[in-house]
Amino acid sequence: MADDGLVIGIHPSVATIFPPATLRDELDDVSARVELLTGGSDLDGLDGLVTFAYDDAFLSADLEWIHCVLAGVDAFPLDALERHGIRLTNSSGIHGDAVGDTVLGYMLQFARRLHVYRDNEPKRKWRYPDWDETFTLAGETVCVVGLGTLGQGVAARADGVGMDVVGVRRTPTPVPSVGQIYTPDALSDAIADARFVVLTPPLTDRTRGLVGSEELDAMREDAYLINVARGPVVDQASLIGALEAGGIAGAALDVFEEEPLPEGSPLWEMENVIVTPHAAGATRAYGERVAALVEENIKRIRTDDALANQIV
């Protein structure tokens, strides 16, 4: 990219997460021209692009850098981008607190039956829980599978409410708030005693189908699965089977094999399942956090340094 006249476009798909104008305003002081785009033809003349979605038109647009506002970039053809000399960066590292709060909320709902009371409210149904239905989080075990930014955000909050935290990661080095760490080959052992199993890894060839019938069978019957990673990390058919058979107590799912979740999915009808629309990382500060990453990388482009969060 040239040191002068750097032009960065904000793709309209960013509106899925936050108003594109919010990002433009946050980038008001950067040493580049920032443009709001309205369509594919606007790609002409851009050096860089900030986007939520991928479009094949990106490959032929003479771009040199794309920033994805998501942490997950599985929708982007990494090999093709590399062949075209387009660098790709993501927004990994900005979601830990939002996702951590969401996961804590899921666990509280299940423990205190808040989701059931909320479902009963429109029916004006007044029902006190059975004596053994509710529990407190303190003293319960949560296994966090994946101890990057998301997993550490979950671990810190779980530890803060008195839970015992174990984790799974490829390198068994110590992580704050995590009492014991297992490697992926010991996943079944790691989840066997946990009341909650929380999935936070990125989607890779290693993690696709990570949780299937074998892992679900290893979980306690009173355990809950929480997925805030990517839908394909879980074999959804096996999960539905385990829920219908009572193999596990319930699930909180923010991500699915197909999104939006089809209207005919049995997951919609299950009282012991919490469905959220891939929104665990949502926060009003999202645009501000993405802007900080984009601004940092504009600076690095100026100094010809390696980009932050570079994937390709």
Residue 41: the pLDDT is: 65
Residue 182: the pLDDT is: 98
**How far is 293 from 136, CA to CA, in rounded Å?**
38
DSSP characters for 208-261?
TT-B-HHHHHHS-TT-EEEE-S-GGGB-HHHHHHHHHHTSSSEEEES--SSSSP
**How far is 169 from 183, CA to CA, in rounded Å?**
5
Q: CB of 168 within 8 A of CB of 185?
A: no
Helix axes 149-160, 96-112, angle to 10 degrees: 40
Residue of 259, 269, 288, 300 marked catalytic: 259
246 conformational bin, left if phi > 0, alpha if psi -120 to 50, beta if neither: left
Residue of 87, 115, 195, 230 marked catalytic: 230
Residue type for position 77: P
Beta strands in the chain (DSSP E): 7-10, 33-36, 48-51, 65-68, 87-89, 141-145, 164-168, 180-182, 196-199, 224-227, 250-253, 273-275
Residue 2: the pLDDT is: 40
Please indicate whether residue 259 is annotated as part of the active site: yes
**How far is 103 from 154, CA to CA, in rounded Å?**
7
**How far is 173 from 109, CA to CA, in rounded Å?**
31
Residue type for position 45: G
Q: Give the other-Cβ count within 10 Å of 307's Cβ.
A: 18
Residue 40: the pLDDT is: 60
Residue of 278, 289, 296, 300 marked catalytic: 278
Q: Tens digit of pLDDT per residue, the chain (312 long)? A: 444 589 999 999 999 999 999 999 999 999 999 999 997 668 999 999 999 999 999 999 999 999 999 999 999 999 999 999 999 999 999 999 999 999 999 999 999 999 999 999 999 999 999 999 999 999 999 999 999 999 999 999 999 999 999 999 999 999 999 999 999 999 999 999 999 999 999 999 999 999 999 999 999 999 999 999 999 999 999 999 999 999 999 999 999 999 999 999 999 999 999 999 999 999 999 999 999 999 999 999 989 999 999 999
Please indicate whether residue 278 is annotated as part of the active site: yes
* Residue 98 DSSP code: H
**How far is 207 from 215, CA to CA, in rounded Å?**
13
Output the six-digit token pair for 305: 């340094």
Residue 5: the pLDDT is: 82
**How far is 88 from 290, CA to CA, in rounded Å?**
14
The pTM of this model reads: 0.95
Output the six-digit token pair for 242: 């385990």
**How far is 262 from 270, CA to CA, in rounded Å?**
14
